[in-house]
Amino acid sequence: MIAGRYRLLSKLGHGGMGTVWRAKDETVDREVAVKEPRVPDHLPERERSNAFERMRREARAAARLDHPAVVNVHDVAVEDGQPWIVMEFVKGRSLGAALQEGTLGAREAARIGLEVLDALDAAHQAGILHRDVKPDNVMLGTHDRVVLTDFGIAQIEGETNLTDTGGFVGSPEFIAPERVLGQRPGPASDLWSLGVVLYAATEGVSPFRRNNTPATLQSVLNATPAAPASAKGPLAEVINGLLQKEPSRRPSAARVRQLLKDAAAPPKETQVVRVAAPGGKGISLSRKGWIGVGAVVVAAVVATVLVVVNPFAGPLPDDWKEKEEKDLRVTTAYPKDYQRWVPKDPETDGVYVRYTDRSGVLELRLDLMVEDEDDVTDKIKGSAASQAYAEADEIENGSTTAWNMAEKPAPKVKTDDKATHQDKRAAINTITYADDGADTENPLPKEVKIMYFLTKDGDLYRYSASYPGKGDFTERGREVAKTAFENLKIKNP
């Protein structure tokens, strides 16, 4: 029981700034969310007291905001001298949780972005900066309600900057460059974060995320994100504009609002013209398409047969062959002298195929994880990039035992989240490590490349190539990996 009034019921979530609880306000019989701020124990008592006072003051400021897209702050309860922030309980889930299941369409992303923008605009007009706009702080409630939470509640204005302590308030991959540099933030800093959220909503991952915090911060300062592949027109203009490194070059809130309205608007109706074809069938052309092509061209389109163009860069090498893997719903390619292996019991061992050279030092392995199978659904992330980063974290944190990885030297992972396959987003991890499976005293250098591809149905293809990390076989292994990845043909991508 907090402050003799709020009974904690269950933990909703936690992060670096505190823990959020589902609670009951027993005075008015109302369900609420209660945030327990986290302040480092090592702080001197005076600094802890100052921190608590700033939290109370900022909570009062947030409580003055009256906007449907801003979480309501009801109270600041004090227990043992520590403030607990009491807020409305929003029924739903966070945008971050939604993105674990897949990306959003452009219209839905624009609709959510518009609500978040309005919440930020209301706060900025009241002199309040959010400073931690990210998917986990955007709640998707019932009746299409969008609510921005954590409005500066547990974030301290004047917090010691990055150059002093090596730490700062906020999530590195969503923080604006000027904040990384320790400069005073403004409304444009929150708008930058909104741009990153919109990018992540449509592409599946922040464009600045890397395998560790220092690399992420460097990418925020120096990397130019690839143009969003799933966002076109006004939404792409918003994202590209908000991700300008210089705050003064970012579009105004008014301009962003108009573009998001355009992106969220339903498509205009299209007049369709039916053209007769042999056999009584027909094809449909929009009015624009009808005007743009002549009758002779239309007849040619009807009469001809579609030609499937090979989407890969070049012909298959002479010493390679193709193989249709029906269980995997793909056609693969591998060197002719490689041995092929499939599991004896796919239900127990999973669905995969392996191709190995006769020496056993080069291996290709293709796994398929089906989304609707109970034992793998929670293992599949919302995008290929998210999957790659999640597995990279597991490897670098030592929580995986794959490939006989020695503890020292620690394995390293480089993630390419800009890769494509069959004209869709993919991701590739390149892992370097020491293999101590054969000799723990003299581990061998190894390298593994893994391509991740998520289909429209949510199934995950994971194609790995392993080979020596040094020596004569290294370049050959990389060449085999590249050719195999490029010539993987997924039937229903």
Q: Return the closest-CA partner of residue 203 out of 425, 448, 387, 14.
A: 425
Answer whether 52's CB lies under 8 Å from 39's CB: yes
Amino acid letter for position 332: T
Query: Does the annotation place 35 within a ligand binding site?
Result: yes
Q: Tokens 């971050």, residue?
A: 96
| Phi and psi torsions of 354, nearest 5° | -120, 145
Tokens of 34: 């209660």
Answer whether 11's CB lies under 8 Å from 19's CB: yes
Distance CA 86, CA 143 (A): 23
Q: Return the closest-CA partner of residue 247 out of 307, 298, 184.
A: 184
Is 52 strand, coil or helix? helix
Q: Of 75, 132, 435, 459, which is the active-site residue? A: 132
Cβ partners under 8 Å of residue 59, min gap 6: 73, 76, 83, 85, 153
Distance CA 148, CA 140 (A): 9
Answer whether 16's CB lies under 8 Å from 38's CB: yes
Angle, CA 136 vertex, CA 132 and CA 387 arms, to 5°: 115
Cα distances (angstroms) measured from residue 366 to each of 188, 350, 369, 400: 45, 11, 10, 19
CB atoms within 10 A of CB 347: 7
Element (H, E) at 73: strand 73-79
Active-site residue flag, 132: yes
Angle, CA 382 vertex, CA 201 and CA 325 arms, to 5°: 135
DSSP bridge partners of 276: 282
Answer whether 88's CB lies under 8 Å from 12's CB: no
Answer whether 256's CB lies under 8 Å from 239's CB: no
Tokens of 369: 């994880």
Torsion of CA 356, 357, 360, 362, to 10 degrees: -80
Please enumerate, by residue number, every residue annotated as part of a binding site: 35
Please enumerate, by residue number, every residue annotated as part of a binding site for ATP: 35
Residues with catalytic roles: 132
